[in-house]
Structure 1
Amino acid sequence: MFMGEFLHSIDTKGRIIVPSKFRDNLGNSFVVTRGLDKCLFAYPMEEWKILEDKLKQLPLTKKDARAFTRFFFSGAIECEVDKQGRINIPANLRSYAGIEKECNVIGVSNRVELWANDAWEDYVAESEESFAEIAENLMDFDI
């Protein structure tokens, strides 16, 4: 399980240090792809396989299913951690998430999310204002 929040810098080559607390669970090789809310999702291979199997079952005849699958898989890349604990995030993914210098790396249960620092701070500020309302709306899910 992934949890916590870490702020790291992207170097000029597009590399970022993967927090040591996440490295063991992510493994030496994992998948990074476009996520929701203009962030990137990183999945350990086992979790990626589970998600891949679920997405394969979506009906090809549904336009939304095709669009989501295209969006999700076309942005996916397998990343390998180097000896310094870094990964290289391709320019297209950095551009999608608006990651330029500082990046928040957060643990979200079965995945890691990478956010541009400004976007993450804005998201947290907005969410804090409506956290009680969000929690109330999730009561139906027995949380």
Structure 2
Amino acid sequence: MHLLSGEYDCKLDPKGRLVLPAKVKANLPEQSGNQLVLVRGFEPCLVLYPRSAWQVIHEKVMALDEFNEEYRQFQRNFFRGMTEVEFDNIGRFGLPGSMRRYAGIEKEAIIVGLGNRCEIWDPERYDEYLIKDQQSFSKLAQKFLTNDNPPAGGLAA
């Protein structure tokens, strides 16, 4: 199993490209090659999936009933702007302008590994979304990690 983890400070080059951190690149599944899938996140960030992880998510979303209006709205918004990106031999890949605007990413970014995916954040926005109160974080850990409360089966791969 390949596990994407860690936080990495990155700078965009003048062409709007980021360099995929070496540790992230090394943990990508081999079958992904140098291709990744970039989508808008639920929060104001971008989400980068290896192709194998994206395939699992894609199948779940496509399995929703297209004759249900809510499902169609979800599919439309979920796939909006989805793009395949390729990184070069040094790990550089481009962030389309519309995606950078959505996430508020201008010159700097933080890449956060979250197991099957990475999130790409504007550093200030990322800090706003982190839990600052350790007691609140502890309560969430207790809620989600105790045997009494198994995680619900959502869209996560």
TM (norm. structure 2) is 0.82
More helix per residue: 1
Structure 1 segment 1-143 matched on structure 2, within 5 A: 1-24=3-26, 25=28, 27-126=33-132, 128=134, 130-138=136-144, 139=146, 140-141=149-150
Residues 129, 109 of structure 1: alpha-carbon distance in 2 compared, 3 angstrom cutoff: same
**For the Cα contact (< 8 Å) 2:131–2:137, is it kept in 1?**
no
Number of equivalent positions: 142
Aligned sequence identity (%) = 35
Q: Report the TM-score, using the length of structure 1 for normalisation.
A: 0.90
Shift of 1:60: 1.6
The letter for the 2-side match of 1:56 is M
Rounded to whole Å, the distance in 2 between the matches of 1:61 and 1:128 is 44
- AA partner of residue 130 (structure 1): S
The secondary structure found in structure 2 opposite 1:36 is coil
Report the RMSD for the aligned CA atoms in angstroms. Answer: 1.8
Question: What is the DSSP-based 3-state SS (H/G/I as helix, E as strand, rest coil) of the residue aligned with 2:106?
Answer: coil
Aligned-partner Cα distance in 1 for 2:134–2:75: 31
Task: Output the CA distance in 2 between the equivalents of 1:126 and 1:69.
Answer: 33
SS in 2 for 1:96: helix
Gaps of 5+ in 2: 152-157
Gap runs ≥5 in structure 1: none
Q: Which residue type is aligned with residue 150 of structure 2?
A: F
